[in-house]
Amino acid sequence: MGVASVKSVVSPKGEMIGSRSELEILPEWVHAAEMVLGQPGVVVLLGGSDSGKTTLGRILTEIWTTAGRTVGLVDGDIGQSSIGPPTAIGLAFISPKNPLPPHPSPLTMYFVGSTSPPGHFLPLILGTQSLVQTAIAQGAEIVLVDTTGLIQGAPAASLKWHKLQALRPQHVLALQREDELEPILRLVEGQSGLEIHRVPVSSRVVHRTQAARRAFREGRFREYFASAVRHDLEWKDLRFSRLWLNTGRRLDRDELKVVGVSLQTMPLYAEAGEEEGLVFVRGSFSRAALYQVRNALQVSDVLVIDVEELRGTLLGLHDGDGGFLALGILQDFDPEGGTLRVLSPLQDPSRIRGVAFGSLRLEASGKELGDAPWR
């Protein structure tokens, strides 16, 4: 066990205890770092919550950049992000000439839309794969992928296995207490071209409460939206995802009246696809009559949303090629007028062509308001 003076690598999340100028660096960590230097490539860091993944990632990055390597950091810990805001995967480049800051600025991001993996495996895996490929294409010699702390149970095994299959890393660093990661590691043990490095958790790691985790997220959101401005966007100019608007046939006025009789309120907008219907109302409606609405729209499922409950929904704003531009917060939604008002740090809204709905709602202050109503 060794202690080194490495003030610059102290985690911004406060994962470790100790003096500000000293941090415990275990010899197993250094050995793993040296093994990666001998065969650089994609490195996936696995570990549970409060295992010190972020701190270890910073230590590894400093070792590798000190050795002259350019490192691409892919932060896939969407709930406790240190590269960009929560709900998005961030990519940062760290070169030998530039020290690692507490919160590296993302070169680019990928919107997942949630602070928790369940229900979001596909964008989490695809987004991580996309940013790893970007890092490699732009010259990163080592790409370090931080992951979420979800490691227990079948969902965790499924997520980690599929992510490892998508990334095909040269190294997996398993930061574990006893054998907690073994059910996941057994899934890829012996895979051609993959080296697994089992490393211990530091005794100085401290447990963070759920309240502390939430405070960290809200602080990151507050920082991100500090310079946000409001933009009014025209519905007709946009492609929507997650909440799949403009993908079905829009109902006319007479059809809306029929649906309104069942809901006991006049819909603002409705559309019907092959299997699903989408209806927007303002205020309360009769949930007991949803089966009648399904029959009226001739669909097997229908989603009815009060537009007032959409306020505060987190959005991912994208350009015409699907590239991420910025996060936004939905301020107002007017399906009749075909407009939506968005709060975002993006200064020029002219590039926005895609809007992805996230799974949570929040205030510009960063305060979390719960799940979005379309979930």
Nearest CA to 285 among 271, 269, 270, 305? 305
Q: Which residue has the higher pLDDT, 152 or 102?
A: 152
Mean pLDDT of 369-374: 89
Helix segments in the chain, DSSP class H: 27-38, 53-66, 121-137, 153-167, 182-185, 210-224, 253-263, 290-297
Residue with tokens 């959101």: 221
pLDDT for residue 102: 82
HSE toward the beta carbon, residue 246, CA cutoff 13 A: 13
Within this chain, do residues 211 and 296 fall inside the same structural domain, yes or no? no
> Domain containing 163: what range?
2-224
Within this chain, do residues 257 and 367 fall inside the same structural domain, yes or no? yes
Contact 282, 263 (CB under 8 A): no
Within this chain, do residues 241 and 213 fall inside the same structural domain, yes or no? no
Last residue of one domain, picked from the residues 206, 224, 242? 224
Residue 92 tokens read as: 């940062």
Whole-Å CA distances, 356 to 213, 299, 352, 353: 25, 24, 11, 10
Q: 295-323 pLDDT, tens per residue?
A: 989 999 999 999 999 999 999 999 999 99
Give the Cα separation of 343 and 116 in Å (integer).
Answer: 23
Within this chain, do residues 27 and 62 fall inside the same structural domain, yes or no? yes
Within this chain, do residues 350 and 254 fall inside the same structural domain, yes or no? yes
Nearest CA to 354 among 310, 312, 319? 319
pTM for the full predicted model:
0.91
Within this chain, do residues 206 and 337 fall inside the same structural domain, yes or no? no
Within this chain, do residues 219 and 70 fall inside the same structural domain, yes or no? yes
pLDDT for residue 206: 84
Within this chain, do residues 196 and 249 fall inside the same structural domain, yes or no? no
Strand spans (E) along the chain: 2-4, 23-25, 42-47, 71-75, 88-94, 108-111, 142-146, 171-176, 195-200, 229-234, 239-241, 249-250, 269-272, 276-281, 301-306, 313-318, 324-334, 339-344, 354-362, 368-371
Last residue of one domain, picked from the residues 224, 241, 264? 224
Within this chain, do residues 104 and 117 fall inside the same structural domain, yes or no? yes
Sign of the dihedral defined by the CA atoms of residues 131, 132, 138, 142, in that order: positive
Within this chain, do residues 247 and 122 fall inside the same structural domain, yes or no? no
Plot region of 164 (φ>0 → left; ψ -120 to 50 → alpha; else → beta): alpha
Which stretch of 66-75, 136-145, 281-290 has the lowest confidence by average pLDDT? 281-290
The structural domain count of the chain equals: 2
Within this chain, do residues 158 and 122 fall inside the same structural domain, yes or no? yes
Length of the chain: 375
In this structure, which amino acid lies at residue 181? L
Sign of the dihedral defined by the CA atoms of residues 113, 117, 123, 127, in that order: positive
Within this chain, do residues 215 and 286 fall inside the same structural domain, yes or no? no
Residue 47 tokens read as: 């570990």
CATH code for the domain in which residue 142 is found? 3.40.50.300
Confidence of residue 236 (pLDDT cuts 50, 70, 90): confident
